[in-house]
Chains A and B, each alone.
Chain A
């Protein structure tokens, strides 16, 4: 199995006039994964995507696509759904999709057949012969998504694919992304919906002010940014107050949380050591969860404390 990165940025930098859009960004997207590219508005995500698709060239660094320098042949294996997107209003829906398919290298007949199939797939067969201008925003979004996925590209970049969709269609998009992962097709997902990132992504990268400030697998990142807390449930009773010295060395504070108790861990304690100390103390432990950071917390922490985050960026990016 080929495990070479599908897309790899190495120390990429880009300036627009006096504005630094990106500096020193290095990241890799692995085959078959769903990679979450996150960051606040204006952080540099779109520029990073455009550089990866050869729409804009980097001032510094290099980009490799499918293990080779950027080329038109490589880009034919990639599809893109930009955040700011649209279609020709006066064109028939089926013709529009077929055109997008042909531009990606499908033959005329194949493009037409795929367009039909994908319209059925997203539940829009009934508007195939209508002009794009007659579609609602949600329908138009689905046509564009179909346009990005109809060639079954090896890599697809979806920038805010959920915007404008109702909950039913959000589920449809999630299912399509999950199908791609099952088929070992790679997806780069850029979204502000952190719950979708947690549900869909294997790895994430957070860009802030042109730098990569968070990067890694979803689990690692959530663990790394965990608030050093755990949730405890005893079969009966609560933790003694004050804590015995064997527990006080690991637990800084305890607070009630319904049938649970929230534990704030000491700076040098790890969750497994705390659990072991609780059991050794003879307490009837019925449940113990290490609390991981949510992506929303990670995102806010990363872009909120910008100075610290930027300072930590090279170290994190290197991991």
Chain B
């Protein structure tokens, strides 16, 4: 029978061993903070830079010797401003190029005499000026619009038709939800960000915390063998107590890590929602509430298998190699995330929900993408399958763990494993 005091001692020691490591503290608390600060800082910097760009009017020179745009385009001071673009009429190319060199103009355009027929325009750029792509995206549509307007005027088209030709359509996008609510394009973009960003982040964090905690398990059991402490431990505790204590202690460390990270996601999503309170963007509360439960079960399932197979190795690298297969199986839903995001409740999603390796991540992703789309029975079935698999994994894992702990030197053959399993 497993003794609770021994399990508690082992669990507490293993938890403190990991939780007091600077690397753990850094990853758990420092990394999200770092990403928040750096990510936020970078985003803020870019937003500020773009805002400055938008506010600033860029000036370009236009040499229109053939007067293709017509005199009425230019104001009294020889300028025309459309949005962030200011076009300045220049008599000749030379002063335009000089102003360009001096930084007064972002570029200049020469409209040739034959332009009307061929539409040919010569564009000049200074070496140190803005990129052509930037210029073509800002100044050239304005210039093109003025030319079209002129052509239409010359053809005698009335003002209303000219406006329609220049702005043929104005799209107003709206999305209608299942409940019949209408959402604007801006609302939808933000919701998409929260709805797909949060599941993605939550899924990645769940998987990272799960694999990280399982990795600690493999590391600790390999260290027991490598440091030759295993026999002292086994003379004081039962292998099942050792396995349970390690599972619980390191699981607690992993759960703490996941909860801290999940709070960061909630915090991030909450901040976005708070900034746009009028939009009432829903947070994936169902997924957030389910995720710790699925983390614990997923961890116990994968952790037991990893601990058992990891104990067969004689060193940390060998143990890590032996457990790689389990890690790959757990990562499977992440590999199929595009399908899950596109069609969360499709066949792939349903299948991954009931497979014990992929259930934790799949349920969390599906629930946060569309809580109404995943049936309660699916969640319950996933839990039942996971519970049964975990029970089985712990039983098989404990037996393998017993054998693996005492084997030293070369890795045992399958025959030897079976023989030892029968003896103990």
Binding site for B on A (CB under 8 A): 17, 50, 53, 55-57, 59, 72, 75-76, 78-82, 84-91, 99-100, 102-105, 144, 147-148
Contact between A86 and B236 (Cβ–Cβ < 8 Å)?
A: no
Q: Across the two chains, which residue of chain A brings its CB closest to B226?
A: A86
Which residues of chain B are within 8 angstroms of A17 by Cβ–Cβ distance? 416, 419
State the majority secondary structure of interface residues on A.
loop
Instruction: Verify if B424 is at the interface (C-beta below 8 Å from A).
Output: yes
Q: In the complex, what distance in Å separates the CA atom of A57 from the CA atom of B10?
A: 24
What's the Cα separation between A90 and B3 when bound, in Å?
27
Residue B163, interface by CB 8 Å: no
Chain B residues whose CB sits within 8 angstroms of the CB of A86 once the complex forms: 226-229
Contact indicator A84/B235 (Cβ below 8 Å):
no
* CA–CA, A148 and B231, complex, Å: 12
**Are A87 and B229 in contact, CB atoms less than 8 angstroms apart?**
yes
Q: How far does the Cβ of B222 sit from chain A's closest Cβ, in whole Å?
A: 12
Contact, CB under 8 Å: A84 / B232:
no
Known pairs A72-B3, A86-B229, A87-B229; A100 contacts B17 (CB<8 A)? no
The reply to whether A87 and B227 form a contact with Cβ atoms under 8 Å apart is yes
B232 touches A85 (CB 8 A): yes
Contacts beyond the supplied A99-B9, A147-B232: 11 A-B pairs with Cβ under 8 Å:
A76-B236, A80-B231, A81-B232, A82-B228, A82-B231, A85-B229, A86-B229, A87-B229, A88-B17, A90-B17, A103-B10
B223 in contact with A82 (CB, 8 Å): no
User: Does B64 have its Cβ within 8 Å of any Cβ on chain A?
Assistant: no
B183 at the interface (CB under 8 A from A): no
B282 to chain A, nearest CB (A): 45
A residues near B9, Cβ cutoff 8 Å: 99, 102-103
Nearest B-chain residue to A17, judged by Cβ: B416
6 example contacts (A-B, Cβ-Cβ < 8 A) are as follows A55-B231, A56-B406, A57-B423, A72-B3, A75-B236, A80-B232
Q: Which of B17, B21, B229 has the most chain A CB within a 10 Å cutoff?
A: B229
Could you tell me if A55 and B424 are in contact, using CB atoms closer than 8 angstroms?
no
By a CB distance below 8 angstroms, the chain A residues around B13 are 99, 102
Instruction: Please determine whether B227 and A88 come into contact, CB atoms closer than 8 angstroms.
Output: yes
A88-B246 Cα distance, complex, nearest whole Å? 15
Which residues of B are in contact with A by a Cβ distance under 8 Å? 3, 5-6, 9-10, 13, 17, 21, 223, 226-229, 231-238, 406, 416, 419, 423-424
> Which listed residue, B17, B223, B226, B237, touches A103 by the CB 8 Å rule?
B237
Asked whether, in the complex, the Cβ of A53 is within 8 Å of the Cβ of B17, the reply is no
Residues in chain A near residue B17, CB distance under 8 A: 88, 90-91
Whether the pair A79, B235 counts as a contact (CB closer than 8 A) is yes
- What chain B residues lie within 8 Å of A80 (beta carbons)? 231-232, 235
A144 to B235 Cα, complex, angstroms: 14
4 tightest CB-CB pairs across the interface, nearest first? A86-B227, A103-B236, A86-B228, A80-B235
Q: Which of B3, B6, B232, B416 has a CB less than 8 Å from the CB of A100?
A: B232
Q: Is the CB of B236 within 8 A of A100?
A: yes
- Chain A CB within 10 Å, residue with most, of B232, B233, B235: B235
Q: Are B231 and A50 in contact (CB under 8 A)?
A: yes
* B-chain residues with CB within 8 Å of residue A53 when the two chains form the complex: 234-235
* CA–CA, A29 and B367, complex, Å: 64
- Shortest CB distance A122–B (Å): 17
What residues of chain A lie closer than 8 Å to B227, measured between beta carbons?
86-89
- Chain B, Cβ-Cβ closest to A52: B235
B151 to chain A, nearest CB (A): 78
Q: Which residue of B lies closest to A55 (CB)?
A: B234
- Provide the residues of chain A in CB contact with B232, threshold 8 Å: 80-82, 85, 100, 144, 147-148
Cβ contacts under 8 Å, A75 to chain B = 235-236
Smallest CB separation, B68 vs chain A (Å): 78
> Which residues of A are found within 8 Å of B236, using beta-carbon distances?
75-76, 100, 103-104
Q: Please measure, in the bound complex, the distance between the C-alpha atom of A180 and the C-alpha atom of B231, giving whole angstroms.
A: 23
Contacts of A72 in B (CB 8 A): 3, 238
How far does the Cβ of A272 sit from chain B's closest Cβ, in whole Å?
A: 47
A142 to B226, CA, bound (A): 19
B423 touches A84 (CB 8 A): no
Knowing A80-B235, A103-B6, the reply to whether A88 touches B223 (Cβ < 8 A) is yes
Report B87 CB to chain A, min CB distance, Å: 69
Complex contacts, A90 vs chain B, CB 8 Å: 17, 21
- What is the chain A residue whose CB lies nearest that of B234? A55
User: Distance in Å from the Cβ of B202 to the closest Cβ of chain A?
Assistant: 32
Nearest chain A residue, comparing its CB with the CB of B413: A17
Cβ contacts under 8 Å, B5 to chain A: 105
Bound: A75/B233 CA distance, A: 12
Residues of A within 8 A of B238 (CB): 72
**Contact of B406 (CB < 8 Å), options: A55, A105, A148:** A55
With the chains together, A105 CA to B8 CA distance in Å? Answer: 12
Given contacts A72-B3, A99-B9, A103-B6, contact A55 B235 (CB under 8 A): yes
Residues of B within 8 A of A78 (CB): 235
Query: Which residue of B is nearest A72, CB measured?
Result: B238
How many whole Å from A97's CB to the nearest CB in chain B?
A: 12
Q: With A and B bound together, what is the CA distance between A82 and B233 in angstroms?
A: 11
Distance in angstroms between the alpha carbons of A86 and B231 in the assembled complex = 10
Task: Report Cα–Cα, A87/B10, bound state, in Å.
Answer: 15
* Chain A residues whose C-beta falls within 8 Å of the C-beta of B235 in the assembled complex: 53, 55, 75, 78-80
List of B residues within 8 angstroms of A144 by Cβ: 232
Min CB gap A152→B, angstroms: 15
The chain A residue sitting closest to B423, CB to CB, is A57
C-alpha spacing A89/B419, complex, angstroms: 34
Q: Taking the nearest CB of chain A, how far is it from the CB of B91, in angstroms?
A: 79
Nearest chain B CB to A92 CB, angstrom units: 10
Chain A nearest CB from B231 CB (Å) reads: 4
Contact yes or no, A84 B237, CB < 8 A: no
